[in-house]
Amino acid sequence: MKHKHAEMIKAKADNMDLAVLLKTFNNDWVEFKASSLLIFHESDEYFLCLPKHQEAVLHALNGGDAQFVELGHSWRDCGTENWSFKGWYMDDSLVSRIKPRKETRWAVYDNGAMGHSTFETKEQLQEYYGIGNYQPVSFEVEV
């Protein structure tokens, strides 16, 4: 009978630099740091990826959004539904990242110039500047 993780065991044996991720008992994914002797238990869930993609993969496996890009192309959203030798996370030519979130920030526009301070809410801005002849301006930033 073939071991449940036979393909992963072979992939790791072929490339010992691959990062091994493990699903914990509370369903969080973490990096699995083991000694040189790596044991894949059939009862556990694992995911392999190139070390350069580990941050994005862990973020995606734990429910976040990740993206990858090929040189000269646009960022694409990516998933980690099933491990495969052909997944984006095994492609050294790709670059990956945690997908930036967009958040609103507030600043003041007064006498033809933008204020130097930014605030997370309009209320924080008004609390700082008080009542005055300025215009609150909202804008989005990637964080």
Two tokens, residue 55: 């941050």
Say what the pLDDT of residue 113 is. Answer: 83
Say what the pLDDT of residue 63 is. Answer: 92
Say what the pLDDT of residue 37 is. Answer: 63
Q: Whole-prediction pTM value? A: 0.72
pLDDT in tens, the chain (143 residues): 888 888 888 998 899 899 999 999 999 999 988 665 678 888 899 999 999 999 999 999 999 999 999 888 899 998 888 888 889 999 999 999 999 988 899 999 887 788 888 999 999 988 988 877 888 899 988 77
Say what the pLDDT of residue 19 is. Answer: 94
Say what the pLDDT of residue 54 is. Answer: 96
Which residues fall within 8 angstroms of residue 60, CB to CB, at 6 or more apart?
A: 66, 78, 79, 80
Q: Is 52 buried (19+), middle (13-18) or exposed (0-12) by CB count in 10 A?
A: middle
Phi-psi label, residue 78: left if phi above 0, alpha if psi -120 to 50, beta otherwise? beta
Nearest in space to 88 (alpha carbons), one of 60, 112, 119: 60
**Long-range contacts of residues 24-32, Cβ cutoff 8 Å, at least 24 apart:** 28/62, 29/58, 29/61, 29/62, 30/58, 31/58
Say what the pLDDT of residue 60 is. Answer: 94
Two tokens, residue 24: 């914990």
